[in-house]
Structure 1
Amino acid sequence: MESDILKNKFIRIYNGESSSIFRFCFLRTSDKEVAIDLMQDTFMRFWNSLSRGGKEIRNERAFLFAIARNSITDWYRKKRTLSLESLAENSEMDVEAFMNTPQKEEIEMAHEAKFLMEKICELDPLYQHVIYFRFVEGLGPKEIAEILGESMNVVSVRIHRGIKQLRSVAGYDEKKHEK
């Protein structure tokens, strides 16, 4: 009976979070197959944690992103030839795969999304993750803090500074006019 409850919980969480975890993995690897493998690895590790019991998982989403981040780090250690910047260099990148953009939206929206994702990759690494989690995944500072193991205050400051840096690298600086 308890295993049925665990299975149902896992299925519910998988159905709700798998696309977000895939997008996160795809953004970091620029390879659909690798992203799928990393997503599967993330959910296997999550299942193992659920089935073992032990510590209660208070925020499943934050826990999943932490597992995914660790899986990506492990993957990069094994494959040093790939880099986070390959996303920006990949001209055949499928923006719809990680932005979940409906096909009927304007082509301009896809180009703007691609442009902004490229600019996020140019940010200082301290800001890349917080900007991605905040604006692509829609997480709040508290969830981001749990994922990154930082305080909410640190995350809020990084979001603010990351937005400022993103505006600068994207050419959206607000210039104050002198009289």
Structure 2
Amino acid sequence: MTTSQREAALQGLHDRHAAELWRFALRLTRDPQVAEDVVQESLLRAWRDPALGTRTEPQARAWLFTVVRNLVVDRWRSAANRHEVAGIDFVEAGVADRSGEVLDRWLIADALGSVSREHRQVIAAAYYEGRTVAEIAAELRVPEGTVKSRLHYGLRSLRLVLQEKGVTSP
């Protein structure tokens, strides 16, 4: 791939995805400048990637969102971001790093906002409150089959939203 072809491919990626990547990074970082830096770094990595012109549009989009997510996780975990002093360990021994879990919760909460209210309601009741299908059906005054159907299609929608964000693979 020639330099001009790489530039054109990168310009196309930027034009199609930069705004949405920035919004995604902003939701994760809550800092516009950091979000902009993360998007620039992700596009720089796309430029350096030998597979730049060989990916399909959905693959390129998923790859970019994954890069943004990983860059945010790396920034969040970095000692400089937490203003740690080198050589001093403030964390108790045996305490696990839960930063990935926290980021995953942010991503899932954001993705849940994209599914319908009915689907979100049954997913939250079943998975966050630990309630049974029968309990959910009784509260919502709908048949148990409807609750099962809403759970099935709600989780399916949630999975698609997460795939679009590059969090999970298809």
Q: TM-score, normalised by structure 1?
A: 0.48
Deviation of the 1:30 alpha carbon: 1.2
Q: 1:71: which partner in 2?
A: 71
Closer/same/farther in 2, CA of residues 124 and 27 from structure 1, 3 Å limit: closer
1:148 corresponds to 2:167: yes
* Identity within the alignment, %: 21
Cα shift readout 1:95-126 (whole Å, capped 9, x = no counterpart): xxxxxxxxxxxxxxxxxxxxxxxxxx9x9446
Deviation of the 1:145 alpha carbon: 2.9
Structure 1 vs Structure 2 CA RMSD: 3.5
1:33 corresponds to 2:33: yes
The answer (yes or no) to whether the contact 2:46–2:64 under 8 Å persists in 1 is yes
Name stretches of at least 5 consecutive residues in structure 1 with no aligned partner. 82-120, 152-179
Q: 1:45: which partner in 2?
A: 45
1:131 corresponds to 2:112: yes
The amino acid that maps onto 2:111 is V
The amino acid that maps onto 1:44 is L
The amino acid that maps onto 1:148 is V
Is the radius of gyration larger for structure 1 or structure 2? 2
Aligned residue pairs, count: 106
Residue 57 of structure 1 aligns to a residue whose secondary structure is coil
Deviation of the 1:34 alpha carbon: 0.9
Cα shift readout 1:31-77 (whole Å, capped 9, x = no counterpart): 1111111111111111111xx24894232111110000000000100
Deviation of the 1:150 alpha carbon: 4.4
Q: TM-score, normalised by structure 2?
A: 0.50
Deviation of the 1:22 alpha carbon: 0.7
Q: 2:17: which partner in 1?
A: 17
What is the CA–CA distance in structure 1 between the aligned matches of 2:8 and 2:106, rounded to whole Å?
37
Closer/same/farther in 2, CA of residues 134 and 45 from structure 1, 3 Å limit: farther
The answer (yes or no) to whether the contact 1:134–1:144 under 8 Å persists in 2 is no
Q: What does 1:66-145 align with in structure 2 at a 5 Å threshold?
A: 66-78=66-78, 79-80=81-82, 124-125=105-106, 127-131=108-112, 141-142=159-160, 144-145=162-163
